[in-house]
Structure 1
Amino acid sequence: MRMRPSARIPGILAGLALAVGGAVFTAPAAHADMKACEQYVAQHDAKVTSGVAEACYQGQIGNQTSCTSSLTTAGASKDVAEQACEASR
């Protein structure tokens, strides 16, 4: 049994609307970003300023090792570096 094209279009549109609406509800929660990392460093190690943005960027793109290493090289404590890089994810 074949449906007329005019009868099929509303069904297709309804399916698309459900698919798009479902994607909105299943999207993961927003994660923190570079600014959260930079703010964490500023709040816990105010003396560290050089290289923080680049280190936090490395954390944001998933390179946690480089992020932590760069922040500790810039003078942040290991604990602060780890927490800040975690905030950038």
Structure 2
Amino acid sequence: MRPSARIPSLLAALALALGGAVIAAPAAHADLEACQNHVQGQGTEVTDEVRMACYVGLVGDQSACAEALTKAGATNTAATEACRLAPQ
């Protein structure tokens, strides 16, 4: 194989390897569970509102997550910490 043909082949192999790492990444539900478990551990029942708030925290809107969790009955401290856990 010519050297000029090897470089694109190596780059393609690298791209496929990195793509496989993305596919093998852990599922996002683990982060949602950490958020939900924290809120539940602080005495708030995990409802659909709590699940949705944790999802909002997962996608990166920490202030909206905390606001929704406090509306669902969590304390400000528990909501802030749970939303911090969501995207990790």
- The bucket for the TM-score relative to the shorter chain is 0.5 to 0.7
Residue 35 of structure 1 pairs with residue 33 of structure 2: yes
Identity %: 32
Q: Report the TM-score when normalising by structure 1.
A: 0.67
Residue 68 of structure 1 pairs with residue 76 of structure 2: no
Higher helix share: 2
Cα distance per residue 1:2-29 (max 9 Å; x no partner):
xxxx4132232124335665x58xx8x9
In structure 2, runs of 5+ residues without a counterpart are: none
Structure 2 distance, partners of 1:11, 1:61, is: 37
Contact 2:36 2:46 survives alignment (8 Å): no
Cα distance per residue 1:28-79 (max 9 Å; x no partner):
x97862121111111222x333311011111111121111011111111111
Q: Report the TM-score when normalising by structure 2.
A: 0.68
Structure 1 distance, partners of 2:46, 2:9, is: 52
Structure 1 distance, partners of 2:39, 2:57, is: 13
Contact 2:31 2:85 survives alignment (8 Å): yes
Structure 2 distance, partners of 1:19, 1:70, is: 39
Larger radius of gyration: 1
Which of residues 33, 39, 45 is equivalent to 1:48?
45
Structure 1 distance, partners of 2:62, 2:76, is: 13
